[in-house]
Amino acid sequence: MSRVLDAGRILAISPHLDDAALSFGAGLALAVRNGAKATVHTVFAGTGAPPYSPAAERMHSIWGLTPDQDASLHRRNEDIAALGRLGVDYRHSSFLDAIYRKAPDGRWLADNVPGRQKLAIGKQSPQGDPELFAAVRKDIESAVDECAPALILTCAAVSGHIDNEIARDATLLVAREKDIPVRLWEDLPHGIFAPGTAELPKGFQLGPPDFGSVTAEVRTRKFEALRLYSSQMLMLHGPDKDFFALLDGHAAKSSPRGDYGETTWPVS
């Protein structure tokens, strides 16, 4: 992962307000410690207006928020605190998370899965909404122009989440146009429970996986940052589930020495 850590300026394109920290928080923290300037640009960070979808209302409740609280503002503040703990700058865009959007036929994109905390997100191609995709691409291009990165990172989108796929594909197109190296991170925690293979747009090819080990201090810094996403920790961590032990165990499977680290892939 030397190319990640040697880059003087790094831009991470995160679909949602915790994706970058969950999936590559240790790598970003280590890069900053090594002298890099790192910025996380979150695409789907806008505030949705009521009436909310049943899925959004359910998620707000799971996150411990009351109906009169601005859920997106609350999560943006969590993100600012978490990225600050990593030493990383932040940018928040105004596109709405899928739980606040509707499909072209007027139905909500997200639906509840009975008996589970998961949501079902309507399947569509990343460019199924050409206007949204074009706007996201333009937004990412603006972030790249402003941050002038030597390296761009984003998600592999193996979860099949439409927001992740839009962010990934738009990022790949911008990176190719501007001739900037790009790497994809393993989507966590999805990669722990349902590992898969990234299906990239035509013309892009995934390189071999690259596991980057970090020191115990950097691992601790990432875990401290993740705890600042209090709304997400209500879903992921608790008395009956140790999320941080899951992260450790998952990393150990890829590490030659059993230590903590994260996986990325180069894209050509």
User: Nearest CA to 20 among 68, 91, 94?
Assistant: 91
Q: How crowded is residue 143: how many other Cβ atoms within 10 Å of its Cβ?
A: 22
Q: Tell me what the pLDDT averaged over the chain comes to.
A: 92
The confidence score (pLDDT) of residue 114 equals 63
Average pLDDT of the residues in 72-79: 97
Residue 197 confidence (pLDDT): 83
User: At residue 56, what is the residue type?
Assistant: A
Q: What is the pLDDT of residue 257?
A: 87
pLDDT value at residue 256: 86
79-129 tens-digit pLDDT: 999 999 999 999 999 999 999 999 888 889 988 766 555 566 656 666 778
In this predicted structure, what is the pLDDT of residue 245? 97
pLDDT of residue 118: 57
pLDDT digits (tens, 9 = 90+) for 239-265: 889 999 999 999 999 998 889 999 999
Per-residue pLDDT tens digits for 193-209: 888 888 899 999 999 99
Task: Determine if the peptide bond prior to 126 is cis (ω within 30°).
Answer: no
Lowest-confidence range among 5-9, 123-127, 169-173?
Answer: 123-127
Q: Residue 160: is its pLDDT beyond 90?
A: no
Other CB atoms within 10 Å distance of the CB of residue 153? 28
When pLDDT is cut at 50, 70 and 90, the band that residue 159 belongs to is confident
Structure-token pair, residue 179: 């001739």
pLDDT in tens, 117-154: 556 665 666 677 899 999 999 999 999 999 999 999 99
d(CA 203, CA 119): 31
pLDDT at residue 196 in the model = 81
Residue 158 pairs with which residues in a beta bridge?
A: none
Residue 56 confidence (pLDDT)? 93
* pTM, two decimal places: 0.94
Q: What is the pLDDT of residue 258?
A: 85
CATH annotation of 2-266? 3.40.50.10320
The predicted structure's pLDDT at residue 193:
87
Q: What is the pLDDT of residue 238?
A: 86
Question: How far is residue 44 from each of residues 75, 94, 119, 150, 167, measured CA to CA in Å?
Answer: 11, 6, 17, 23, 9
- Burial of residue 97 (number of CB atoms within 10 Å: 0-12, 13-18, 19+): buried
Share of the chain above pLDDT 90, in %: 78
